[in-house]
Structure 1
């Protein structure tokens, strides 16, 4: 039987995504071949599992990390062996520091979490509901990590250093409004009010052209605050913590 490296990678990816949980044979078949699997699909999965066991087996009495358990298989990994778990631990630790206004520690956690990324999640594997759902969730977590990191840096007064990075983020994620908000505030605090207002107009143009929408309330409120040079609390917004500004 022909062994497809890509199909083996897909089986491994699904087992990793569901590490510690039983993945049914039928689910693996559907993920790889969709609703029209070949006649010997189950035999193919058995071959792929066999190949993975040879690749993943640990020396010693622990044996195979892939265990057959009806109706399918379960992958057993240690807590420190899956990078997604390490990423989420750093994220959660960073969130905790940010809530306690320990922004230096929060930024360090978020930077370390982002440094773990080496490219797109699970490479170029994008077939099947399980993998696509996981990729969507993880990409959202990464965007949240970047967003809170920018918050922490703004709280620490690093607005001038952030401008270039935020411009890049708005180009990479043109529909993610939080990055426009961060960029506007960083520019205003860097005494670049005209550029900050220009960013708002750019965001408005993109959102209108792509989605037929106006900017969210947070962006509109920030534009108004920059135009009036005060926020809703009556103080100069260059001195206002980012989390005090209204959010949509």
Structure 2
């Protein structure tokens, strides 16, 4: 069995048999147990996820009904009867980590980080490309999401953002500055207040000999920060702009 959460919620039973879970509280329950694979999730936590502050008096009985239906989903799968286990304090799903795309993604990103730390950018790039290929859309797109699952999804999305940064860093170490400019422009547009991304874009443009565009990228950041927050770019970015301007002045003086 394989569980795909990075996109529409899908369970792959065999190579030629899979199905998508519909939007329901049973799917919501399974999703939460999967992102905490191997960990017992308490009854109180499950109730909080499913109903928040509006839990009905029948919450415990209804939860047990959802557990029953979740077990029915697994019952027709090879070894499925051992997937969802009752514990004294709650419930746990136990499957190999490599059966869940989120766990595989996390492992690949961690490995890529270690490879970069070991100055092996080419291998790190391979891991990151493999990790990014696992994404088929927003995490558990279309599913019902409560506060507990939302916290896990925030972590997963932050991890995806970290993977993007690592990919950019690996590309820069390999001298592939031109290749990452379109990606950086898109990321800057999606995250206009992230100064780190703006800095990466400015540096990449400069490395490609596009100094005027690099300076324009700095001016765009300055306008955004001034309009949104009333602040100037961080000192490191101001120094980067100064270096770009100074280099241009030196060249002009020699001509």
Please give the range of the TM-score, normalised by the shorter of the 2 chains: 0.7 to 0.9
Residue 59 (structure 1) aligns with: 78
Question: How does the TM-score come out when normalised to structure 2?
Answer: 0.82
2:93 aligned with 1:88: no
Residue 95 (structure 2) aligns with: 77
Cα shift at 1:212: 3.1
Higher strand proportion: 2
Cα shift at 1:111: 1.6
**Which residue of the other structure, out of 158, 164, 171, is the alignment partner of 2:176?**
158
Cα shift at 1:86: 0.7
**Which residue of the other structure, out of 26, 46, 61, is the alignment partner of 2:44?**
26
Report the Cα distance in structure 1 between the residues aligned to 2:231 and 2:132, rounded to whole angstroms: 31
Residue 172 (structure 1) aligns with: 190
Summarize deviations over 1:215-238 as a string: whole Å, max 9, x none.
2233223222222239xxxxxxxx
2:198 aligned with 1:205: no
Select between 95-104 and 207-216 the one with higher mean Cα deviation: 207-216
- The DSSP-based 3-state class of the residue aligned with 2:91 is strand
Maintained 8 Å contact 1:31/1:129: yes
Summarize deviations over 1:47-100 as a string: whole Å, max 9, x none.
11111111123435x733111112211111112111111111111111111112
Cα shift at 1:135: 1.5
Residue 208 (structure 2) aligns with: 190
Where in structure 2 are there 5+ consecutive unaligned residues? 1-21, 249-255
Select between 47-56 and 211-220 the one with higher mean Cα deviation: 211-220
Maintained 8 Å contact 2:25/2:144: no
Report the Cα distance in structure 1 between the residues aligned to 2:221 and 2:142, rounded to whole angstroms: 30
Cα shift at 1:5: 4.3
2:53 aligned with 1:35: yes
Cα shift at 1:125: 4.2
Report the Cα distance in structure 1 between the residues aligned to 2:133 and 2:238, rounded to whole angstroms: 33
Cα shift at 1:122: 2.3
Maintained 8 Å contact 1:79/1:85: yes
Residue 46 (structure 1) aligns with: 64
Cα shift at 1:34: 1.2
Maintained 8 Å contact 2:128/2:167: yes
Where in structure 1 are there 5+ consecutive unaligned residues? 231-248
**Which residue of the other structure, out of 119, 123, 143, is the alignment partner of 2:141?**
123
Select between 112-121 and 212-221 the one with higher mean Cα deviation: 212-221
Residue 133 (structure 1) aligns with: 151
- The DSSP-based 3-state class of the residue aligned with 1:80 is helix
Report the Cα distance in structure 2 between the residues aligned to 1:150 and 1:94, rounded to whole angstroms: 12
Maintained 8 Å contact 2:83/2:94: yes
Report the Cα distance in structure 2 between the residues aligned to 1:228 and 1:134, rounded to whole angstroms: 46
Cα shift at 1:171: 1.0
Residue 124 (structure 2) aligns with: 106
